[in-house]
Amino acid sequence: MISLYTKDIDGVWFGVAYDGEKVFATTFAFSEKRALQGLLGGIPFNVPFQQLETASAFAERVIALLKDVYDGKDVSSNFSLATEHLSYYTRKVIRVALLIPVGYAASYGSVAKAAGGSPRAVGRVMASNPFAPIVPCHRVVSSDFTLGGYGGGLNVKLEILRRESRGYVPKREISVNKEKLLLFPVEFVLNKLRKDKKKNS
């Protein structure tokens, strides 16, 4: 049975759906109801689940990691993500997105080049990402460095990226499936937004 656990930390609700030490979904939201909705949307259909008031030490570790990612900290996840029920293409996109490190972003097009499919298809996968923010969909943006979309709202996406800013300058490339995943510093996105704001003011 899948267990659902949510916890309010400083006004943000973090949630995890898990069975044993396998993570089926993670989420964060600004109300417990939205957090639970996020978890329910990420777990397999027709699988029994229960909501817990107190959780295992494992669930608490996952929640602590979610808070660290939300705060912009550079952390690595070694949790086992349950992806067997997801489509083959979704799994491919998730694997590519997991490679985007703190301080960098990638375009939908670049992720599509590495994973296959189109930028629009990548956008659909990121919009239904069951492992936010462990799978960093907030680091996937439009090719013109605008934010694109985000289930948690663009202001939330922007704030997380601001916290992840490390002052990096050079672009990077990572080899994925004989393709190149192009990464650019978060500053590219932040500078683009500043210019657009200045232009429109």
Per-domain residue ranges of the chain: 2-81, 88-200
pLDDT of residue 164: 97
Q: Measured on CA atoms in the order 12, 90, 135, 127, is the torsion positive or negative?
A: negative
DSSP secondary structure code for residue 134 in this structure:
T
Give the residue, 194 or 68, on which the prediction is more confident: 68
Query: Is 137 one of the catalytic residues?
Result: yes
Exactly one of 17, 63, 137, 147 is catalytic; name it: 137
Quote the mean pLDDT of the chain. Answer: 94
Question: In CATH terms, is domain 88-200 a member of 1.10.10.10?
Answer: yes
pLDDT digits (tens, 9 = 90+) for 45-104: 889 999 999 989 999 999 999 999 999 999 988 899 999 999 999 999 999 999 999 999
pLDDT of residue 102: 97
pLDDT at 135 > cutoff 90: yes
Of 59-63, 104-108, 151-155, 191-195, least confident by mean pLDDT is 151-155
pLDDT at 151 > cutoff 80: no
pLDDT over 90, % of the chain: 87
Tell which residue, 24, 133, 130, has the closest CA to residue 82: 24
Judge contact between 97 and 69, C-beta under 8 A. Answer: no
Characterise 197 by phi-psi region: left (phi > 0), alpha (psi -120 to 50), beta (else).
Answer: alpha
Strand 172-176 to 140-141 pairing: unpaired
Tell which residue, 53, 26, 30, has the closest CA to residue 41: 26
Which residues touch 150 (CB under 8 Å, ≥6 apart)? Answer: 137, 138, 156, 157
Distance CA 168, CA 102 (A): 10
Please, what CATH class does the domain formed by 2-81 belong to? alpha beta
Distance CA 119, CA 55 (A): 38
From residue 78, alpha-carbon distances to 75, 117, 132, 142 in Å are: 10, 27, 15, 28
pLDDT of residue 188: 94
pTM exceeds cut of 0.85: yes
pLDDT of residue 196: 84
Distance CA 105, CA 158 (A): 12
